[in-house]
Amino acid sequence: MALADSARGLPNGGGVSRSPSGGPLLTPSQSLDGAGGRRSGYITIGYRGSYTIGREAQADAKFRRVARITVCGKTALAKEVFGETLNESRDPDRPPERYTARYYLKFNFLEQAFDRLSEAGFRMAACSSTGTCAFAPEQGGPADDKIWTSYTEYVFCRD
């Protein structure tokens, strides 16, 4: 005779895991039934940047505009959030439930991307940035300047 799940020390009687609100825990790839058909999931926004720092350091930093904002995530989520502003030319026939890291946006303003994600119910979950000195005077660069490059990613999620 099998022991009851609670007697074996299994949480929630060994059944479906529950969130603090009492609802079932969903993985990011599962759909939410009660949220107007909106899927939960993750979208990552990334961009490369560069800037020049002269002798005066940060007081003299010259930043260049963002050239391209990349979008990583499930195709259906990316299309839902960004619609016609999503450039799919690098991965045109991607099925809706498949993941891609080859899309980018047709605009170059991070704030616009963040606004669209917020309006779609996403929240920022994490961010990461890295920077390296790409060109310095000892490598034949400008006498007083150092050119730095950076890559930044923002991870957004919708529960």
Is the CB of residue 78 less than 8 Å from the CB of residue 39? no
Q: With 0-12 CB in 10 A as exposed, 13-18 as middle and 19+ as buried, what is 58?
A: exposed
**Residue 94 in 3-state DSSP?**
coil
pLDDT exceeds 70 at position 13: no
Other beta carbons within 10 angstroms of residue 158's beta carbon come to: 21
Q: Which three-class secondary structure state does DSSP give residue 61?
A: strand
The CA-based angle 93-96-101, given to 5 degrees, is: 70
Could you tell me which residue, 57 or 41, shows the higher pLDDT? 41
- Specify the range with the lowest mean pLDDT, choosing from 2-11, 30-39, 81-90, 118-127: 2-11
**DSSP conformational letter for 2:** P
What pLDDT is attached to residue 137? 64
Q: What is the pLDDT of residues 46-72, one digit of tens each?
A: 999 887 776 655 556 677 778 899 999
- CB within 8 A of 144, min separation 6: which ones? 54, 55, 137
DSSP 39: B
Within 13 Å, how many C-alpha atoms sit on residue 135's CB side? Answer: 10
What residue segments make up the domains of the chain, in order of their start? 41-136+144-158
| Stretch 20-46: mean pLDDT | 61
- pLDDT > 90 in the chain, percent: 47
